[in-house]
A and B are shown apart, each in its own frame.
Chain A
Amino acid sequence: KNQVEQSPQSLIILEGKNCTLQCNYTVSPFSNLRWYKQDTGRGPVSLTIMTFSENTKSNGRYTATLDADTKQSSLHITASQLSDSASYICVVRSGGSYIPTFGRGTSLIVHP
Chain B
Amino acid sequence: DAEITQSPRHKITETGRQVTLACHQTWNHNNMFWYRQDLGHGLRLIHYSYGVQDTNKGEVSDGYSVSRSNTEDLPLTLESAASSQTSVYFCASSESVENTEAFFGQGTRLTVV
Q: Which residues of A contact B (CB under 8 A)?
A: 31-32, 34, 41-46, 49, 89, 93, 98-100, 102-105
Q: Which of A45, A99, A105 contacts B42 (CB 8 A)?
A: A105
28 residue pairs from A and B, CB less than 8 Å apart: A31-B100, A34-B100, A41-B107, A42-B106, A43-B90, A43-B92, A43-B104, A43-B106, A43-B107, A44-B43, A44-B90, A44-B102, A45-B104, A46-B101, A46-B102, A49-B100, A89-B43, A93-B100, A98-B50, A98-B100, A99-B45, A99-B48, A99-B58, A102-B43, A103-B42, A104-B40, A104-B41, A105-B42
For the complex with contacts A44-B102, A89-B43, 18 further pairs of A-B residues with Cβ separation under 8 Å are A34-B101, A41-B107, A42-B106, A43-B90, A43-B92, A43-B106, A43-B107, A46-B102, A49-B101, A93-B100, A99-B48, A99-B58, A100-B100, A102-B43, A102-B44, A104-B41, A104-B42, A105-B42
Among B41, B48, B102, the most chain A Cβ lie within 10 Å of the Cβ of: B102
CB contacts between A and B, total, < 8 Å: 41
Q: When each residue 13-46 of chain B gets 1 if its CB lies under 8 Å from chain A and 0 otherwise, what string results?
A: 0000000000000000000000000001111110
Across the two chains, which residue of chain A brings its CB closest to B33?
A99
The count of chain B contact residues (Cβ–Cβ below 8 Å) is: 19
B2 within 8 Å of A (CB atoms):
no
Across the two chains, which residue of chain A brings its CB closest to B105?
A43
